[in-house]
Amino acid sequence: MKKNRLIATAGVALAASIALTGCSFDAGATTSDADTPTVINQIGWGGTTWTQNFNLFSPTGVAVTPGTAYVYEPLIRMNRVSAGEIMPHLATEWGFNEDGTELTFTLRDDVTWADGEPFTAADVAFTWNLVLAGETPQAYPFTSVEATDEHTVTVTYDKQSFADLASFATRQIVPEHIWSEQNVREWTNPEPIGTGPAVLDKFSPQQISFTLRDDYWGGESAGVETLNMHAVTGDARMSQLISGQMDFGTFGWSNADEEFIAKDPENNLYGFYPTGTSDGLIFNTEVAPYDDPHVRRALRAALDLQIGAEIAAVGYDVPTQAGVSDVVYADQLAEGTEQKQDVDAALAELEDGGWSVEDGKLVKDGESFELRYDVYQPYEEWVRTGTIMADQWRENLGLDVAINQMADAPFTEASSTGQFGMLSGSPIFGSTPYVAYSSMTALAYKPIGEAAVYNQGRWQNAEFDAVVAELGAIAPGSDAARAAELSAQAQQIMADEAPFIATATAGWKAVANQTRWTGFPVPGEDDYAPNPTLPADAILTIMNLEPRG
């Protein structure tokens, strides 16, 4: 693993990080001499043109310009290869009171804004009070925030809120001395000043250029002096990475092995960085025949999901039966929950449940059921995977499963209100084990017909709810052994009950031409992710890239 260059707290090294690239205003790959690059070119996102709006709190519908994650920083960050682990960033320490209603952060004392002004707890309190006062579209679950001294800030909740800690990894801080003079609801913040290393140098609707500070609290970069982003979309992204016009992008590339890596195996990188959770098929557990666990387990056991992963060819792995990554959750996995095809077990499940297959339909007690899998049409890999699954169900169980491709609006309505039998989606998701599992508890349950954001399969299990509740009552970092045990118990229940079939690990994708820059993270090993929208991760990325010698 690469050595880290940025310091999080005294004596604690922050993780090395992956690079971001864009497009140059001039030649595209400016160098300080003939051999050493200083500019990195990143493919941007958010369309073919941008407006100069770096206001993090812009009203809904107003696009924020890409790049704010290089400018504005959070107090903490997440370890991307260890589920639920919190790491320091602008804060060095944090802790809840015993009942989980007060959270106190201790801040670094060596941080300055890009204009030289000191960063203090007053900036943190000001930022979060903007939200609490209703000046922004955001909403936070705490009721008050107070800077108790220059480097200490305390947040107060009206109930136990241990689970909210991870959310601070995306709550970026803005400078009070600048923002307090503006109407935040209307201001576009054209010249952003943050604690991060990036300072806006030039802006055009299709190109953005940042220079990196030499007085950044985390130290100087390993080589990058200028970060350029270019509004490149579609197939042009691939061609410009292949040619070397662009250094780095974050998008999925089907068949990248043949179309990109094979062209230059030494320099071309396509990486998939798991978030910890998964995408897959969600059963509506209140609709027959999917209300029977025998049917759900049979449909799961009949599948060889690795075939789907290989054919989709966008880089994901197959998660466990509980829908978690065996990399990110490695220290808390339930035993025996790996996904594996077992057609004999699938047939036995149907027999044990009193089911038979006749003319491609499931039959029980004289009633037959035609099976249909509703798939989100805009996601090509979901459609492709669904077709592979239907082929396997036909071959292994004799079942005919119709693949119904749905456009955005009808799919959203069906998934929300429970008007489906089997549906593609994200069974569980969240940045910590508790948050991920909570998305499947009674806390998220809504009857069919009412809008559900989570637990769209309407699964209910009292034992699972109790395990997750106990997990949520453990203060972060206070009893890791018990938390891991409870996490594994929750996974085992989901694996046994099969409320979903987790087909693919969720994650971020990165494509890099390493002709000029090296130091990209190893998926599943380095504790940062190559996502330029994630505060802290984006900064660690750009600061730790090294010019190829």
pLDDT at position 19: 31
| Residue 411 DSSP one-character state | H
Q: 3-state DSSP helix/strand/coil percent for the chain, to nearest 5?
A: 25, 20, 50
pLDDT, averaged in runs of 10, over the chain (549 residues):
31 30 40 71 90 88 85 97 94 97 98 98 98 92 97 98 95 98 94 98 96 96 96 93 95 87 94 92 98 98 90 78 95 95 98 97 97 93 93 98 95 95 93 94 94 95 98 93 97 98 92 94 86 93 91
Nearest by Cα to 541 from 524, 518, 525? 518
Q: Find the Cα–Cα–Cα–Cα dihedral 485, 488, 493, 498, rounded to 10°.
A: 170
User: What CA–CA distance (Å, rounded) separates 75 from 172?
Assistant: 8
- Give residues with Cβ within 8 angstroms of 310, minimum separation 6: none
pLDDT at residue 169 in the model: 96
- For residue 151, give Cα distances in angstroms to 96, 111, 116, 167: 17, 11, 17, 20
pLDDT of residue 120: 98
Instruction: Give CA–CA dist 82/432, Å, rounded.
Output: 9
Query: Which residues sit opposite 37 in a β-bridge?
Result: 31
Output phi, psi for 249, to 5 deg: -150, 165
Residue with tokens 């390493």: 514
The continuous run of DSSP H or E covering 413 comes out as helix 408-417
- Report pLDDT for 104: 98
Residue (of 432, 478, 460) closest to 332 by Cα position = 432
HSE-up (13 A, CA, CB side) for residue 13: 10
Q: Is 120 left (phi over 0), alpha (psi -120 to 50) or beta?
A: beta
Over the Cα atoms of the chain, what is R_g?
Answer: 25
Q: Indicate the DSSP class of residue 110.
A: S
The candidate with the shortest Cα–Cα distance to 421, out of 265, 252, 286, 237, is 286
φ, ψ (nearest 5 deg) of residue 539: -70, -45
Residue 262 dihedral angles phi and psi, to the nearest 5°: -65, -25
Q: How would you write 255-296 as a 3-class SS string? A: CHHHHCHHHCCCCEEEEEEEEEEEEEEEECCCCCCCCCHHHH
pLDDT (0 to 100) of residue 45: 87
Residues whose CB falls within 8 Å of the CB of residue 433, separated by 6 or more in sequence, listed in order: 83, 84, 329, 332, 471, 483, 487, 490
**pLDDT at residue number 312:** 67
Cβ atoms of 228 and 532 within 8 Å: the answer is: no
What tokens does 486 get? Answer: 């409870």
DSSP 2-58: PPP-SEEETTEEPPP--------SSSSS-BSSSS-B-EEEEE--SSS---S---TTP
pLDDT of 240 reads 96
Q: What is the residue whose two structure tokens read 């509740």?
A: 469
Q: How far is CA 423 from CA 374, 406, 461, 536, 540, in A?
A: 5, 10, 20, 35, 37
Residue 280 CB partners (closer than 8 Å, separation 6+): 319, 323, 424, 425, 426, 427, 500, 501, 502, 503, 504
Residue 61 confidence (pLDDT): 59
Strand-by-strand arrangement of the 152-156 sheet: 91-96, 102-107, 152-156, 144-149
